[in-house]
């Protein structure tokens, strides 16, 4: 008896010694521990607007190793890889357990297909892999995707075998090294001040799902405030006149209305007595779509986004009414996960904090989030300005890079146009990656024809050529919003468009070392902050003064929306309403709440 106990203990320790460990990130959040301890991080169904009953989450520990370009034709099939990584965290993050960048890498996961999925096709879904991913199953190449911010799915049915299957992904992500210039937002190979640590590899959820031979591969819905919804269910297969049935449900999942249409063809449904969506009343409706044997669940909200002249001023309208749009510049970076929020709850915390202060909008800044972020914004009620991730600011793109930017812009809009909370698309930020010829003049009509239901902010800050719905000024620290004064790099307010302040604020306060990103190049760049306040009193005195200037401009001039920089500190930036670890709230919450209310009041009185 004794011997077997000793043996069992020895085995136990052996397995513990080999167990995967996350690395301690340079700075931890309130959620780092929970994420590090989760066997399957991000357990929620990852695709809220196209849900199927059956699925297998492939998040968790995968095998991993550094690789080469050449490995693409000599993949280590059937071999054990040298390291491990926790999916879905960027390889540069502590939570991934790697905390290093590799231009080339290989990921491997073994899986078995549940026996009750027999006779169905099997898809593997990647919600995002930065930047190029080549997918193999059991040694057979099954798919490829380029673009670090979009979801893609691969039908792996023909490559499957009974028992254990091997999923392998070869990743290439050079960030901006060696002349590469993909849409990459704030990621830099050499991070400093306003540019941050890059994110490479699988950074969002991976999952398997069974589908019938003919299935819904995409679901698009556009809605308005009158209860109209246009639904398009895209089928993977061409079958003449395939019927699609849509049932819109009430709160108790009872059918409100149902209507039949055809695959790939938009058809209109009118939901009677609909309750509209707004930040204050974020009403949503579930609906169910049936196409042959495929049944999926989704949801939508009903609202109309438009523009119009109110008392002589061009305004953005939500459900026909001018609502001043006030938000923050929201980077969506995390000290423990980089691009990957540590948990879903962490990501939701940021939105709830902004809601609590009274913001009704956020500008998702040159980054794209997991679909669950947009679903949370829809549910909690916050309008989104969605930026296209920029190419680098320090050189012009080549023709090929420009073409890839345009392709990924169209993909981003396709992937997100069914989310209720997105009210505005942004093409360019401050001239970054924007050719001097002004490609937004032809991209704006292209975006509008792809999605006629939203406004387009063609250029937020700097090189304006007159395109789009907005005249958007950036100025730090004080705003110059829809006003008859302006400064270098901006232009006088153009009364034919909506006047907004796409960025202002940025007032900093150096925080104690315990809440700073303790990386030399970041700490050494804190002295580049527009304005530093020595203590929390001074921070609130100055920020509220800047907000008061905004309030006055809203009252006097033609200011319809503004974006305060920014939600949180990030690496070398110490200008957040929250520190990077989300542990310190800089803002005097009651004073900010009152000021934000006063800004909305000023907008009402002016309109
Ligand atoms: C990864 O492998 C490449 C090619 O063998 C090598 O040049 C590079 O130094 C390796 N990177 C790291 C961080 O080990
Ligand atoms: C639905 O499509 C019709 C026809 O293309 C169009 O006239 C209408 O504006 C659309 N409605 C919505 C809510 O997108
Ligand atoms: C629907 O469109 C998809 C993608 O363009 C295409 O592959 C499929 O054949 C089409 N299906 C039908 C029923 O027309
Ligand atoms: C309605 O259906 C959805 C999707 O299947 C489910 O998540 C939700 O719990 C249901 N609600 C009620 C009230 O039954
Ligand atoms: C900021 O600090 C760094 C590191 O201490 C120093 O090299 C740099 O000159 C300073 N820059 C400014 C603008 O003061
Ligand atoms: C900010 O604080 C850190 C940590 O206390 C310190 O090392 C750094 O020099 C400070 N920088 C500035 C510009 O105050």
The number of the ligand nearest the C-alpha atom of 105 reads 1
Q: Which of 149, 172, 154 is nearest to 71 (CA)?
A: 172
Q: How far is the CA of 444 from the centre of ligand 2 (A)?
A: 20
Would you say the CB of residue 450 lies under 6 angstroms from ligand 2? Answer: no
Lookup result for tokens 């970054």: 432
What is the pLDDT at residue 14? 35
pLDDT band at 489 (very low <50, low <70, confident <90, very high): confident
Same domain, 136 and 226: no
**The model's pTM:** 0.96
Name the residue of 523, 534, 573 whose CB sits within 8 Å of the most ligand 6 atoms, as the mutation to test its pocket: 523
Would you say the CB of residue 230 lies under 6 angstroms from ligand 2? Answer: yes
Flag whether 8 is in a domain.
no
Q: How far is the CA of 203 from the centre of ligand 3 (A)?
A: 29
Express as a percent the part of the chain with pLDDT over 90: 94
Flag whether 335 is in a domain.
yes
Lookup result for tokens 């892999």: 129
Query: Residue 6 pLDDT more than 60?
Result: no
Flag whether 5 is in a domain.
no
Q: What is the mean pLDDT of residues 287-312?
A: 98
Lookup result for tokens 């009402």: 604
What is the pLDDT at residue 241? 84
Same domain, 492 and 521: yes
Q: What are phi and psi of 585, to 5 degrees?
A: -95, 115
564: tokens are 């305060």
Closest residue CA from atom 3 of ligand 5:
524
Closest residue CA from atom 11 of ligand 5:
527
pLDDT band at 491 (very low <50, low <70, confident <90, very high): confident
Same domain, 519 and 545: yes
Same domain, 281 and 353: no
How far apart CA 278 and CA 258 sit, in angstroms, is 24
Flag whether 286 is in a domain.
yes
Would you say the CB of residue 252 lies under 6 angstroms from ligand 4? Answer: yes
Q: Which of 127, 267, 147, 153 is nearest to 217 (CA)?
A: 153
Q: How far is the CA of 36 from the centre of ligand 6 (A)?
A: 29
CATH number for position 135: 2.60.120.260
What is the pLDDT at residue 13? 37
CATH number for position 399: 3.20.20.80
Query: Residue 580 pLDDT more than 80?
Result: yes
pLDDT band at 1 (very low <50, low <70, confident <90, very high): very low
Would you say the CB of residue 100 lies under 6 angstroms from ligand 1? Answer: yes
Would you say the CB of residue 504 lies under 6 angstroms from ligand 1? Answer: no
Q: What are phi and psi of 189, to 5 degrees?
A: -60, -35
Number of domains the chain is built from: 3
Residue 311 region by backbone torsions, left for phi larger than 0, else alpha for psi between -120 and 50, else beta: left
Same domain, 106 and 140: yes
Could you list the residue range(s) of the whole structural domain that residue 548 is in?
305-605
**Range in 224-233, 302-311, 488-497, 560-569 the model is least confident about:** 488-497
Q: How far is the CA of 236 from the centre of ligand 3 (A)?
A: 6
How far apart CA 431 and CA 243 sit, in angstroms, is 46
pLDDT per residue as tens digits for the range 501-532: 999 999 999 989 999 999 999 999 999 999 99
Same domain, 245 and 389: no
pLDDT band at 239 (very low <50, low <70, confident <90, very high): confident
Same domain, 339 and 421: yes
User: 488 in helix, strand or coil?
Assistant: coil
pLDDT per residue as tens digits for the range 55-69: 999 999 999 999 999
Query: Residue 196 pLDDT more than 70?
Result: yes
Q: What is the mean pLDDT of residues 374-388?
A: 98
Closest residue CA from atom 11 of ligand 3:
238
Would you say the CB of residue 297 lies under 6 angstroms from ligand 6? Answer: no
Same domain, 174 and 276: no
What is the pLDDT at residue 18? 57
What is the pLDDT at residue 399? 98
Q: Which ligand 3 atom sits closest to the C-alpha of 262?
A: 13
Closest residue CA from atom 4 of ligand 5:
524
What is the pLDDT at residue 488? 82
Query: Residue 556 pLDDT more than 90?
Result: yes
Closest residue CA from atom 13 of ligand 3:
238
**Range in 210-219, 235-244, 578-587 the model is least confident about:** 235-244
Closest residue CA from atom 10 of ligand 1:
66
Would you say the CB of residue 71 lies under 6 angstroms from ligand 1? Answer: no
The number of the ligand nearest the C-alpha atom of 508 reads 6
Name the residue of 510, 519, 523, 524 whose CB sits within 8 Å of the most ligand 5 atoms, as the mutation to test its pocket: 524
Domain end residue (candidates: 185, 211, 237):
211
Would you say the CB of residue 189 lies under 6 angstroms from ligand 4? Answer: no
Same domain, 241 and 341: no
Q: Are 107 and 168 in contact (CB under 8 A)?
A: yes
pLDDT per residue as tens digits for the range 315-324: 999 999 999 9
Query: Residue 51 pLDDT more than 80?
Result: yes
pLDDT band at 607 (very low <50, low <70, confident <90, very high): low
How far apart CA 356 and CA 375 sit, in angstroms, is 18
Q: Which ligand 6 atom sits closest to the C-alpha of 512?
A: 5
Cβ neighbours for 179, distance < 8 A, ≥ 6 positions apart: none
Flag whether 297 is in a domain.
no
Name the residue of 66, 99, 198 whose CB sits within 8 Å of the most ligand 1 atoms, as the mutation to test its pocket: 66
Domain end residue (candidates: 180, 211, 242):
211
The number of the ligand nearest the C-alpha atom of 71 reads 1
Q: How far is the CA of 73 from the centre of ligand 4 (A)?
A: 47
Q: Are 297 and 286 in contact (CB under 8 A)?
A: yes
Q: Which ligand 1 atom sits closest to the C-alpha of 67?
A: 2
Same domain, 233 and 360: no
Q: Are 521 and 188 in contact (CB under 8 A)?
A: no
Same domain, 506 and 575: yes
Position with higher pLDDT, 1 vs 345? 345
Flag whether 2 is in a domain.
no
Would you say the CB of residue 443 lies under 6 angstroms from ligand 6? Answer: no
Q: How far is the CA of 195 from the centre of ligand 5 (A)?
A: 17
Flag whether 330 is in a domain.
yes
How far apart CA 586 and CA 536 sit, in angstroms, is 7
Domain end residue (candidates: 252, 270, 292):
292
pLDDT, the chain, mean:
95
How far apart CA 196 and CA 90 sit, in angstroms, is 13
Same domain, 68 and 189: yes
Query: Residue 5 pLDDT more than 70?
Result: no
Residues with CB under 6 A from ligand 5: 524, 527
Flag whether 82 is in a domain.
yes
Name the residue of 54, 249, 253 whose CB sits within 8 Å of the most ligand 4 atoms, as the mutation to test its pocket: 253
CATH number for position 282: 2.60.40.10
Lookup result for tokens 């939105």: 351
What is the pLDDT at residue 235? 97
Q: How far is the CA of 523 from the centre of ligand 5 (A)?
A: 10
The number of the ligand nearest the C-alpha atom of 414 reads 3
> CB count, 10 Å around CB of 473?
29
209 class by beta-carbon count within 10 Å (0-12 exposed, 13-18 middle, 19+ buried):
buried
Name the residue of 221, 222, 232 whose CB sits within 8 Å of the most ligand 2 atoms, as the mutation to test its pocket: 222
What is the pLDDT at residue 490? 84
The number of the ligand nearest the C-alpha atom of 103 reads 1
What is the pLDDT at residue 16? 39
Closest residue CA from atom 10 of ligand 6:
510
């Amino acid at each position: 008896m004794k011997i077997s106990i000793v043996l069992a203990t020895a085995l136990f320790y052996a397995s513990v010694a080999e167990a995967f460990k996350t690395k301690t990130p340079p700075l931890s959040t309130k959620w780092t521990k929970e994420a590090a301890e989760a066997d399957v991080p991000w357990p929620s169904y990852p695709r809220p607007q196209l849900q199927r009953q059956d699925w297998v989450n492939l998040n968790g520990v995968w095998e991993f190793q550094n690789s080469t370009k050449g490995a693409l034709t000599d993949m280590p099939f059937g071999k054990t890889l040298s390291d491990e990584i926790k999916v879905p965290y960027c390889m540069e993050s502590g939570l991934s357990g790697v905390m290093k960048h590799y231009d080339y890498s290989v990921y491997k996961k073994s899986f078995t297909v549940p026996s009750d999925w027999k006779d169905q096709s099997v898809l593997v879904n990647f919600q995002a892999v930065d930047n190029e991913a080549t997918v193999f199953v059991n040694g057979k190449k099954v798919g490829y995707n380029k673009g670090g911010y979009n979801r893609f799915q691969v039908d792996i049915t023909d490559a499957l075998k009974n028992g254990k299957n091997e999923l392998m992904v070869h990743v290439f992500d050079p960030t901006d090294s060696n002349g590469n210039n993909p849409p990459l937002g704030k990621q830099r190979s050499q991070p400093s001040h306003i540019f941050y640590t890059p994110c490479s590899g699988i950074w969002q959820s991976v999952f398997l799902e069974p589908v019938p031979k003919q299935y819904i591969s995409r679901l698009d819905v556009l809605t308005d405030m009158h209860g109209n919804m246009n639904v398009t269910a895209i089928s993977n297969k061409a079958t003449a006149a395939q019927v699609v049935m849509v049932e819109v449900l009430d709160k108790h999942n009872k059918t409100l209305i149902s209507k039949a249409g055809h695959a790939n063809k938009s058809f209109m449904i009118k939901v009677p007595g609909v309750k509209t969506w707004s930040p204050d009343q974020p009403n949503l409706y579930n609906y169910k779509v049936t196409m042959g044997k495929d049944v999926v669940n989704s949801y939508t909200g009903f609202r109309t986004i438009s523009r119009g002249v109110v008392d002589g001023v061009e305004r953005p309208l939500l459900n026909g009414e001018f609502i001043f749009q006030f938000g923050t510049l929201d980077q969506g970076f995390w000290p423990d996960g980089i691009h990957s929020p540590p948990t879903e709850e962490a990501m939701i915390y940021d939105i709830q904090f902004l809601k609590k202060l009274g913001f009704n909008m956020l500008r998702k800044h040159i980054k794209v989030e997991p679909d669950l972020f947009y679903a949370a914004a829809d549910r909690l009620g916050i309008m989104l300005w969605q930026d296209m991730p920029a190419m680098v600011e320090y050189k012009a793109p080549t023709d090929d890079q420009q073409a890839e930017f345009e392709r990924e812009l169209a993909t981003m809009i396709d992937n997100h146009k069914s989310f209720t909370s997105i009210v505005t698309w942004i093409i360019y930020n401050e001239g970054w990656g924007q050719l001097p010829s002004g490609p937004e003049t032809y991209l704006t009509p292209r975006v509008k024809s792809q999605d006629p239901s939203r406004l387009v902010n063609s250029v937020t800050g700097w090189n304006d050529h007159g395109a789009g719905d907005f005249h958007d000024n950036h100025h730090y620290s004080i705003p110059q919003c829809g006003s008859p004064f302006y400064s270098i790099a901006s232009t006088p307010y153009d009364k034919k468009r909506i006047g907004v302040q796409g960025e202002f604020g940025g007032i900093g306060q150096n925080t104690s070392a315990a809440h700073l990103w303790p990386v030399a190049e970041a700490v050494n760049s804190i002295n580049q902050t527009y304005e530093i306040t020595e203590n929390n009193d001074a921070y609130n005195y100055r920020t509220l003064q800047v907000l008061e200037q905004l309030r006055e401009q809203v009252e006097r001039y033609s200011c319809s929306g503004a974006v305060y920089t920014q939600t949180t500190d990030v690496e070398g930036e110490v200008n957040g309403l929250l520190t990077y670890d989300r542990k310190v709230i800089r803002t005097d919450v009651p004073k900010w709440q009152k000021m934000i209310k006063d800004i909305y009041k000023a907008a009402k009185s002016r309109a």
